[in-house]
Amino acid sequence: MSNNEIVQGFDDEKDENLVITLERARESEEMLTVSLIGSVDTHNAPFLEKQVVKAIEKGYTKLLFQCAGLADISSTGIGAFSLFLNLVKAKGGDVVFFGIQPRVQGVLQVLGFAQAFTIRESRARSVEAFLLSAPEPEHAAFPRQAVCPACSSAQEVGEAGRILCTRCKTALVVDCQGQVFLG
């Protein structure tokens, strides 16, 4: 099955340094394996974000990232994965990584994200992480006031997702509990 059959228009754009392949999971209609080959850096992280957000909007909220072919990742790429995590958590989903190369694992550890993401050694263990975890309860966190971590100004937040600080224009991510992160 092609990417376009899974998410319409997915293959309309390409990136020369990153190949993304989608595979529906048999275990759940909300589960999708996203295989990455290449690298994610400042230049193509927006491409990755756009493509994966298409899948999330299509209803895939349990994302399995197959990273055996991911040779390198920058902090901007990790920011894209943080965005995915926040978006799917707001919908009761999660993100699990498997097959991570030592270089990518090292970047995650150095930047302090190895504990923020669920990482498993295989696809089977990744699926188990979804099947064994209980869904997070829904919280009525919105609307609410939040504080920009960059400039400390108050922000009116209506829902989880990405926003720009009204004062300093910093990109922010708001999770389903109303917590604000640099994004």
DSSP structure string for 159-182 = SSEEEE-TTT--EEEE-TT--EEE
Which residues in 126-168 belong to E strands, given as ranges?
Answer: 144-147, 154-157, 161-164
Task: Sheet containing 171-174: give its strands across.
Answer: 161-164, 171-174, 180-182
pLDDT for 131 equals 75
> How do residues 44-94 score in pLDDT, each as one tens digit?
999 999 999 999 999 999 999 999 999 999 999 999 999 999 999 999 899
Structural tokens at position 125: 């263990």
Average pLDDT over residues 161-180: 80
pLDDT for 170 equals 84
| Domain 3-132, CATH homologous superfamily name and number | STAS domain (3.30.750.24)
Q: What is the mean pLDDT of the chain?
A: 87
Closest by CA to 34, choosing from 55, 14, 50, is 55
Asked whether the whole model's pTM tops 0.85, one would answer no
Structural tokens at position 175: 């999770």
> How do residues 114-151 score in pLDDT, each as one tens digit?
777 888 889 988 888 777 764 444 445 677 887 887 88
Measured between alpha carbons, how far is 142 from 140 in angstroms, rounded to an integer?
6
How far apart, in Å, are the Cα atoms of 82 and each of 10, 112, 121? 21, 12, 20
Supply angle C-alpha 54, 57, 61, rounded to 5: 105
Measured between alpha carbons, how far is 170 from 182 in angstroms, rounded to an integer?
8
Domain limits, CATH 3.30.750.24, in the chain = 3-132
Average pLDDT over residues 93-122: 87
Which residues in the chain belong to E strands, given as ranges?
Answer: 18-24, 31-40, 62-73, 94-98, 118-120, 144-147, 154-157, 161-164, 171-174, 180-182
Measured between alpha carbons, how far is 53 from 80 in angstroms, rounded to an integer?
10
User: Lowest-confidence range among 22-26, 42-46, 103-107?
Assistant: 103-107
